[in-house]
Every structure is written in C-alpha cells, then in structure tokens.
Homo-oligomer: A and B are copies of this chain.
Amino acid sequence: MSLSLLCPDAFLSPLEIDQAVARALAEDLGRAGDVTSTATIPADARAHACVVARKSGVMSGLPLVVAAFKKLAPEIEITAHARDGAAVAARIVVMDVAGPARAVLGAERVALNLLGRLSGVATATHEFVRRVEGTRTRICCTRKTTPGLRALEKYAVRCGGGFNHRFGLDDAILIKDNHIAVAGGIRAVLERAKACAGHLVKIEIEVDNLAQLEEVLAVGLADAVLLDNMSIDDMRKAVAMVAGRVPLEASGGITLDTIAAVASTGVDYASSGSITHSAPSLDVALDIEI
C-alpha cells in the first residue's frame, strides 16, 4: 500500500509523510499512550474498522492514514477503496482496517485528523476548480498554509485539482511592491533579480495596475506576472495587453463567488489562500467493531 499506488501523481516526498505522522502520533500519545484502551481493552483483542467519509468530498491523505496505523502496529491490514484525488460521496467507506484493537484505537484520531485536514483542503480546492471548468484558468495555492503542514497541504491542493505556487521563499522569485520600491523601479528590480537567479528559477512580479504591467512587459524579464487585487475589468485588459506572452496570475481576495468572473477574464492562474488557511476539515470517521 505504497504512496505511489494510493496517489499516482503525488508530488510529495515520502519522508514528509513519515515525519508528519510520527509527530502527530507523538503529540497524541504523549507520555503514557492511550490510557483508556490500555485500561479497558485486552492486549490481544482485535478490531475491524472502516474509514468513512461522512460528507462528500475529495480524498487526500490516505497514505498518511496507512502510515499512522502501521506505525503503531506493522501487522495491521489495510484495504483501500479509494485513492487520493478521488471524489467520494457521503457515507462511502474508503478504507478497511483490521488488527490489534489497541493500535486501531490508538491511531484513530491521528489518522482522522490528517485525513480530515488534507481532504478538507482538497475539497475546498476542488470547489474552486469546478467553477473554472471550461476556462483556461488554473486554481493555485499560496504560502498561506498551516505552519508545519505546507508540503502536505500543497499536495492536497493537487489532489483537489489545483496547482502549486512556490513551496517556500527559496524556490522561485516573487517580486512585490517593497522590492520594487527599494530596488528603484520595475526595470531595476527585474534586472537585479535576473542577474542573481539561476536558469532554473522563475521570476514572477506583482503589479497593481496596468501601467506597471506595461512596464513589466517592456522590460521582458519576468516569467509570470501577478495581478494584485485588480478589478475584473482590469484583469480583462491585462489579458489582452499580454496576449499570451507571459502567464498571468490573478490574486487577492478571490472567493467562490468571484472565481467564475475572474476566470472569465482569461487569466492563466487564480490563486487563493483560503483553500489552505481556511478550509474546513472534511468530516471523516472510523467505524470500529472489536
């Protein structure tokens, strides 16, 4: 039940999974472990359990569920009925779990917290994605992620059909107003960035208005342009001005209500922090029989 089979297109280091699960288990088991189960469930009792999505949504985190149970008892047997990225209906059983009862109960909350959080992000992403179907606009995330879970949440965004923005401050250049101001203008800042950047680092620049966009196009060193808090009308003009020369990303306060209008302008990407920082958890549960 490896990551690659539970999610064929996982852009996620397997080491991240292991670390996140180990940290979450340590946090929940604390010093004395599951005292309730140790006190009341015999050591040799066995349990069968079903992971159930109580609400419909998009799965993300199934490999972490596997890892959580296996960490407490390697002999636990797990059968998956869904893969990450799958849209499932309410009340669907996505996994069967069988093994020592204490281990099943001991890993339950960690498994569900991980699956619920990531599936919540995937589901929120997917809601945006559905609104832009048929357009050229792709939904993408930001760096506004839950501290400590960035790689996992970026993975969940992909499970939901979205695309990833930068993973950190280090893997691409994103020039904002302060950088422009300090460097002495758009041409200066782009030239300075280009002079530093290796050939495998993209440069994106944020613009507030069409005049700035024009200047960026004139300089010609940007790999992408972020339209910051522009009106729908200006976005449309921006798309026309650019005419495909550079990808355009719309950003700033985009909601489920506004995303269709944003996409109608023809921008290439629309990014939203809310799909990571404010996505409600998907309601998932473990139905257990001992």
Contact = CB atoms under 8 A, between A and B. Distances in A.
Contacts of A150: 27-28, 31
Given A28-B150, A32-B170, A147-B110, A196 B277 contact: no
Given A30-B13, A31-B13, A31-B30, A36 B183 contact: no
A192 B11 CA distance: 14
A42 to B, nearest CB: 7
Interface stretch (A1-9, A88-96, A231-239): A1-9
A170 B27 contact: no
A46 B29 CA distance: 35
Given A39-B193, A146-B117, A140 B199 contact: yes
B101 A173 contact: no
Interface stretch (A16-24, A125-133, A210-218, A256-264): A16-24
A229 to B, nearest CB: 12
Nearest to A41: B182
A198 B164 contact: yes
Contacts of A155: 32
A116 B144 contact: yes
A101 B140 CA distance: 28
A80 interface: no
Indicate the member of A138, A170, A171 with the most B CB atoms within 10 Å. A170
Given A24-B148, A31-B16, A148-B24, A109 B10 contact: no
Contact of A140 (B36, B37, B198): B198
A70 B176 CA distance: 23
Contact of A37 (B5, B30, B47, B179): B179
Contacts of A290: 178, 181-182
A170 B15 contact: no
Contacts of A32: 11-13, 151, 154-155, 164, 167, 170-171
Interface string A173-187: 111101101110000
A244 interface: no
Contacts of A110: 147
A144 B286 CA distance: 13
A10 B27 contact: no
B38 A113 contact: no
A277 B168 contact: no
B13 A277 contact: no
A14 interface: yes
A163 B194 CA distance: 11
17 contacts: A11-B38, A15-B26, A27-B31, A31-B150, A31-B170, A32-B171, A34-B169, A36-B176, A40-B183, A41-B182, A109-B143, A146-B149, A148-B149, A163-B199, A199-B223, A200-B202, A277-B281
